[in-house]
Amino acid sequence: MTEQTAARRVVTNMSLSLDGRYAAPENPLDMSWVMPYAHTDVARDHLTSLCEPATTALLGRVNAEGFLGFWPTVIGMEGADPRDEGFAKWLVDTDKVVLSSTLDVAPWERTTIVDKPAAEAVTELRATEGGDILVLSSASVIKALLAADQVDRLALTVFPVFLGGGPRLFDDGLPAGRWTLADQTAGEHGTLALVYDRVR
């Protein structure tokens, strides 16, 4: 395990529509608008680059159920893209922290259930050894960490579609601050992968 005790980064990853939404207005759990773009080289390479330095996955309960219900099935799937399979293996094998006030016991291996605010959980994780703490598409967790100015790296995949409504990732009232562009990649279908680092 990489020893980075003093500098564990909190890295958040989210897919956004061009009009700044992370979910459709009529059904926030329907991610079908993402699917035409999620299978692009840009999106796959983006996710691979984020999980490689990460040793902890931080998820909300709803996302944990979705991710951990689907991704393990990709391992060994006929015709699976090696990058998808690589991410699936990483997700299964890495330490996972799921924020939940309703789950008592984790139904997944290598998973700890934590019932406390996201910022508090992250402060405790930063004090342990390991690599990046990767927050995977859990909007409520990312919003809480942004509000607490606890995000070190903000990764976004922007897809060229207007949802015309629905929840936004960036609420009014976030702490003022500057970010620097660490990486940018444009690809097929107009998909754009952006990585910003917090300037402190």
- What is the predicted pLDDT for the residue at 2? 41
**CATH class belonging to 5-199:** alpha beta
Query: In the chain, where are the structural domains located?
Result: 5-199
For 108-138, the pLDDT digits (tens) are 899 999 999 999 999 999 999 999 999 999 9
- Residue 112 tokens read as 């700890």
- What is the predicted pLDDT for the residue at 66? 87
Contact indicator for 145, 10 with CB cutoff of 8 Å: yes
**DSSP single-letter state for residue 66:** H
- What is the predicted pLDDT for the residue at 6? 55
- What is the predicted pLDDT for the residue at 167? 94
For 79-111, the pLDDT digits (tens) are 999 999 999 999 999 999 999 999 988 888 999
* Portion of the chain with pLDDT greater than 90, in percent: 80
Residues in the chain with pLDDT values less than 50: 1-5
- What is the predicted pLDDT for the residue at 170? 95
- Whole-model pTM: value is 0.92
160 burial type by CB count under 10 A (0-12 exposed, 13-18 middle, 19+ buried): exposed
- What is the predicted pLDDT for the residue at 30? 82
Contact indicator for 47, 81 with CB cutoff of 8 Å: no
Distance in angstroms between the alpha carbons of the first and the last residue of the chain: 27
